[in-house]
Amino acid sequence: MALSDDPGLQAALAESRQQARDATASLRQLAAHLGAERDKFRAQSARRMQEIQADARRGQLGPEQERLQRRVDAGETTWRDIASGADDDPSAEVARVHLSTHLTALREQLEDDEAFREADAAARAQQERATPEH
């Protein structure tokens, strides 16, 4: 009897192929879910950014933010240039200092947050497991 005629091997091969199909279907479903979540996040982020920009235009975020938003609206600068330091206007410098201060405070808060540290450790462990070693 040839190995290819062995019912046990044929059953194992069929089971292996089914498992591969199931895994592929599961990965496709996960990819679709992640894509939908990404799109949802992008839409929410865009809405939030529009709200912040509208608040800045109305002066609700202070005169420096209003000036920055007016400059962005007029095409004199971009938020990327403001954040990167390419924009050397005093209002951009104030925004960078403000952002840096808030990011530092956020980092400190997260370092003290046990739930965040646990979630971060779990995410890093998952990433290590998913990353092939070279």
Please determine, for residue 131, whether its predicted confidence score (pLDDT) is greater than 80.
no
Q: What is the total residue count of the chain?
A: 134
Query: What is the model's pLDDT at position 48?
Result: 92
- Distance between CA atoms of residues 101 and 108, nearest Å: 11
DSSP three-state, residue 112: coil
- Distance between CA atoms of residues 66 and 94, nearest Å: 12
Write the burial class of residue 37 (CB in 10 Å: 0-12 exposed, 13-18 middle, 19+ buried): exposed
For the stretch 38-81, pLDDT in tens is: 999 999 999 999 999 999 999 998 888 899 999 999 999 999 99
Mean pLDDT of the chain: 89
Q: Residue 76 has what DSSP assignment? A: S
